[in-house]
Structure 1
Amino acid sequence: MSMDITFLGTGSAYPSPHRGASALVLRTEGECWLFDCGEGTQTQLMRSPLKASKITKVFISHLHGDHLFGLPGLLCTVSLNCNPQASQPPACVDIYGPQGLRRFLRVALVLSSSQLLFPYAVHELVPCGGQSPAEGQLDPRVTDSSDQLHPQEQPGQTIHLDTDSDCYTLFEDKQFTVKALRLFHRIPSFGFCVQERDRPGRLNVEQLKKLGLKPGPLYGRLKNGESVTLDSGQVVSPGDVVEPAIPGRKVCILGDCSSLVGEGPAKVCQGADVLVHEATLAEGHRERALEHGHSTPHMAAAVARACRTRVLVLNHFSQRYKPLISQKDSEEDDGGEADVRELKRQAEEALSGTGTLVVLAEDFLTLPVPLKRP
């Protein structure tokens, strides 16, 4: 199964002519999952090869506007492009995010008299202490969502921290387990870990031929982990003819943060194939980054090192750092402090000797996540 990540917006604070506000899509065969939805995300989607109608799940890391303001408009645009005569009823779009997201979306849709042609459900994560300064914690009266549901809204879950694993389990299905983890920011922020389940190993066709087994139902039973008995009475177990399982891929996408909270995040993200981590400002602005709850390349690299990540993708850049494409056409590119390549150099310096690859996120960059080999 193919898997890739497309970055729709890689800038911080606001959309600009150079970078869109925060948004990226994790795509697998048949589905697209949107992580954050800053202002202008629907326009970025139109400029990309992705289709907004394929989005089945949305994950919002925190309630700052540059990660959230595009969501009501995107849902309305998707609805406008729905086919009301479709033979199959539209699937529910599941939206995950911090407490307060349910009320934000409900009020935005109700006040704008927006009707959707598909159902949606908001599943809220209950923040814990230590995720933000005291002034960043929202008053429960603001986040309360006990009022009436929007006409197209289905009841969502309220998800609490699992104290045993020190993370939030959002859902599990036949292909993936998705968990959320706590981050420290000016307001409670979350990261998301998408873990693909291991895939059964390939059948050793040559060995099967030697045993006299022809393609058919017995192949399927062996691949599903069952032993089979041949006409000769010989019992063939899966371990005799099935190659080792293919380990599932792991993608971790962190929201704005200056640190992880608790022990769970590093455990959950351990061995990630791809870690998307913000690097808003260069090392020379470390104090300013910390003051605003953000990270520098060295801070992102420290998380990648602790998690033994294969690929670290730096993301969420201050608008002072212009994309590489715009720099090629700009006479102002003097290789100085505002050169986005300096952020990459700083992360690579901190990860020297680890084998971790550092990638700079750019709007419309698509990063494949290849299958692992046993």
Structure 2
Amino acid sequence: MKLYFLGTGSSYPTRKRGVSAAALQLDDGSVWLFDCGEGTQIQVQKVTVSRQRINKIFITHLHGDHLFGLPGLLCTISSQIGMSKEELEAKGTPVVDLYGPQGLRRFVYTSLSLSRSPLQFKYRIHELVPVKDQYLENWDEWDVDHSAPSVTHPSELPGSLICPDEDSDGNVHWKLFDDDNWYAVAGWIHHRVPSFGFVLNEKSRPGTLDKNKLIELGLPPGPAYGQLKKGKSVTTEDGKLITPDMAVGSMIPGKTLVILGDTSDASPLAHLVSSNDRGCDVVVHEATFDESLKEKAAEFGHSTSSQAAEFAKSINAKMLILNHFSQRYGRVSEDSQNEETVAILEQEAKKALEGTSVHIKCAEDLFTYEIPRTSREVSK
């Protein structure tokens, strides 16, 4: 698996940084996109990710620097499918699932419908219903309709409205999906609008098949090998029973990824990872400001790099990747000829992580992080 950082700046794109977007390329080649700020469809062309393989899009919150690139990207995906209606019907029309806060469906429907934009694929939108704690006290001062439209776009399939589940301790989460390979949930985090973080739990996989051992046991290559990988016993032609434990290695633990939206405090989500006995392999956390601007960060619902480090420590993360940097980093200061860079943020985070085994990286646009499969790789 690889994480591609398409945009790592906050607020608006500049010559040096795009705004929020990251793509996770799975081992089977499919792609999940996290946020889609303005210009994402340009950035994604600069990495080895196929837009046609995007089948899930996760929107953390409805601020423009995380959302304004979505209509254009959807239209670009459609234009590059390059199949006729008959070919699509024969091969099966692609489907893209979108997950995000309540209001996402209205945004997508309005932008695509007003622009008369047909799509060559189908999409489903799964909206997360926020909890009371996610709304600021002055939320109702701006009357905005977040409800789903009563009509559907021609390419839209029925989605879902995901309400929060509460555990015995009063913690809440939103269950996104649970399939053969992944269990994905969302948790809420503090910001100026309802904002979510996504916790992706890869399920453990069968161990390596010892083909030489199987041949010694009298089982030649064939469909029976697949049955053993699935945990089923098979019988050779001469009647010998071969069980999975005779030729299949130990289960390979899956990975846990945490990808957060904008936040001044991600602790309401921590229980989704701290209860996981394998910890967290990588957490992507915003670091909009350095510690000297802590009050400004809090005012605008953002974090400093030190706060991001403290959260990574709290969930036992192996790797912390910082992003969503203020445009002040990488810009020449007005009172100095020295250029402020994200090195300031990285140094502060490292200081906060002293004495721990957490690794840290400040992401640049187009930075690629290959999620290691073994603990040996993690230490590199």
Q: Tell me the TM-score normalized by structure 2.
A: 0.88
User: How many Å separate the matches in 2 of 1:70 and 1:38?
Assistant: 5
Amino acid at match of 1:10: T
CA contact (8 A) 1:6 1:24 kept: yes
**Alignment CA distance shift 1:12-1:137 (3 Å):** farther
Q: How many residues align?
A: 364
**Alignment CA distance shift 1:139-1:267 (3 Å):** farther
1:298 corresponds to which of 306, 325, 339: 306
Residue of structure 1 equivalent to 2:88: 88
Residue of structure 2 equivalent to 1:349: 351
Percent of aligned pairs sharing the same letter: 44
SS where residue 222 of structure 1 aligns? helix
Listed as ranges, the gaps of 5+ residues in structure 1 are 327-331
Residue of structure 1 equivalent to 2:148: 145
**Alignment CA distance shift 1:215-1:53 (3 Å):** closer
CA contact (8 A) 1:271 1:307 kept: yes
Comparing 153-162 with 216-225, greater Cα deviation is found at: 216-225
SS where residue 156 of structure 1 aligns? strand
Residue of structure 2 equivalent to 1:188: 194
**Alignment CA distance shift 1:209-1:85 (3 Å):** closer
User: How many Å separate the matches in 2 of 1:174 and 1:366?
Assistant: 26
**Alignment CA distance shift 1:139-1:180 (3 Å):** farther
Q: Does 1:243 align with 2:249?
A: yes
Amino acid at match of 1:345: Q
Q: Does 1:24 align with 2:22?
A: yes
Matches within 5 A, 1:1-374: 3-28=1-26, 29-85=28-84, 87-89=87-89, 90-136=93-139, 142-164=145-167, 166-205=172-211, 207-208=213-214, 211-228=217-234, 235-260=241-266, 261=268, 264-267=271-274, 271-322=279-330, 334=338, 338-372=340-374
**Alignment CA distance shift 1:18-1:210 (3 Å):** same
Residue of structure 2 equivalent to 1:329: none
Amino acid at match of 2:176: L
Amino acid at match of 1:301: A
Amino acid at match of 1:88: L
1:150-200: CA deviations, max 9, x gaps?
122122100011213731111122222221111110011001122211110
User: How many Å separate the matches in 1 of 2:42 and 2:128?
Assistant: 28
**Alignment CA distance shift 1:320-1:27 (3 Å):** same
Listed as ranges, the gaps of 5+ residues in structure 2 are none
**Alignment CA distance shift 1:216-1:151 (3 Å):** closer
CA contact (8 A) 1:279 1:295 kept: yes
**Alignment CA distance shift 1:308-1:26 (3 Å):** same
Q: CA deviation at 1:351?
A: 1.1
Q: CA deviation at 1:272?
A: 1.6
CA contact (8 A) 2:127 2:162 kept: yes
User: How many Å separate the matches in 1 of 2:141 and 2:211?
Assistant: 60
CA contact (8 A) 2:125 2:159 kept: yes
Amino acid at match of 1:170: L
Q: CA deviation at 1:30?
A: 2.5
User: How many Å separate the matches in 2 of 1:292 and 1:315?
Assistant: 16
1:347-373: CA deviations, max 9, x gaps?
111111221110111101111112236
User: How many Å separate the matches in 1 of 2:352 and 2:264?
Assistant: 17
SS where residue 295 of structure 2 aligns? helix
CA contact (8 A) 2:273 2:279 kept: no
Comparing 85-94 with 238-247, greater Cα deviation is found at: 85-94
Comparing 142-151 with 121-130, greater Cα deviation is found at: 142-151
**Alignment CA distance shift 1:138-1:235 (3 Å):** farther
Q: CA deviation at 1:306?
A: 1.1
**Alignment CA distance shift 1:222-1:52 (3 Å):** closer
Amino acid at match of 1:153: E
CA contact (8 A) 2:270 2:314 kept: no
**Alignment CA distance shift 1:77-1:212 (3 Å):** closer
Q: CA deviation at 1:26?
A: 0.5
User: How many Å separate the matches in 1 of 2:43 and 2:216?
Assistant: 55
